[in-house]
Amino acid sequence: MNINDIREPLRMGILGAARIAPTALVAPAHVLGHRLIGVASRDKSRARHFAETNRVERVFDSYEELIADSEINAIYNPLHNGAHGEWNLRALAAGKHVLTEKPSASNAYEARQVRDAALASGLIFMEAFHYIYHPVLNRVLDLIESGEIGAIKRVESIFNVSAPAADDPRWQLELAGGALMDIGCYALHVQRMIAHAIVGHEPTVVKASAELWSPGVDKSFKIELEYGSGIEAFARFNMDDEWLNVVTIEGELGRITVPSFVIPGLDDRVIVDAGAGGSPRTEHLGRLSSYTYQLAAFSNAIDFDSPVVTGPEDAVATMELIDASYEAAGLNPRP
């Protein structure tokens, strides 16, 4: 699939003037030639500034007005986690295709509601795990399936970031905050993708432990997963640490390391050490943004009915694993 195989530009509306939106949607939209019809924010002055800065055509008075607009055919939802489920459902009910920031909902029950609405609508629904659309992760899955490093014995995913401000929504329980929701979902999602490549089914949670930022809100997690076939799997993440995002896959004959699995456009290396006295090799898979690949996949799904890796069923499976991790650590899933 060529990322420029687009029949006509998307006509997109943006819910909220989120910090991630310029990187995750605006820049890719301008690269690919899509239209940014409008933005709505609870703070209209912020929406005006966002529109002027990012070449968005119109400012809407409310989210409701934006999703009802007949010129818009697709919605990007980068609201706080607690608002994903509600506004995904509203956008689908308004007949719009949806690209939602992850996770798709606050908990598995709500994710299943969104899935059911998406499937019934016949519209395209994509959860924004952008990294999986980049050639880096596709190459990793191909290497696993090739058998070059032998039978897989251990998989580890790590994602650490520096702490958001204390009043950030990501620390608020009522807004579905916490490290697992914000960054841990990546560490679990990549485990799911790798598990499917190795054993063909979902991993399960064996045990988990969390360190809390405040009552009920996790700062860091350690999760042990079960693939079956004697494979060890671990996901670790910390929302108050130095930046790190890496995946390591160890096999009987060698190892694959991805130094930047979450943002492969910044570091496109896949390091393969096949052992047997050979030297490790480094493959470079390209610095084009994973967000650009993601938006191309979204538009091609709409125009050409191309398959969506992170569709509504995938979103439910991820959310079920998130809820299971909270429960294994003695915490409640997000409200």
* Structural domain spans, the chain: 11-129+293-299, 135-287
Using CB atoms within 10 A of its CB, is residue 132 exposed (0-12), middle (13-18) or buried (19+)? buried
Residue 1 has pLDDT above 80, yes or no: no
What pLDDT is stored for residue 275 in this prediction? 73
Q: For 135-287, which CATH class?
A: alpha beta
Percent of the chain with pLDDT over 70: 97
pLDDT tens-digit profile of 155-196? 999 999 999 999 999 999 999 999 999 999 999 999 999 999
The tens digit of pLDDT for each residue in 50-89 reads 999 999 999 999 999 999 999 999 999 999 999 999 999 9
Residue reference for tokens 């896949």? 270
26-49 residue pLDDT tens: 999 999 999 999 999 999 999 999
Q: What is the pLDDT of residues 101-132, one digit of tens each?
A: 999 999 999 999 999 999 999 999 999 999 99
Tell me the two tokens of residue 172.
């608020």
For 179, other C-beta atoms within 10 Å of its C-beta total 29
The fold of 11-129+293-299 is: Rossmann fold (3.40.50)
8 Å CB contact between 6 and 32: yes
Phi, psi of 68 (to 5 degrees): -85, -10
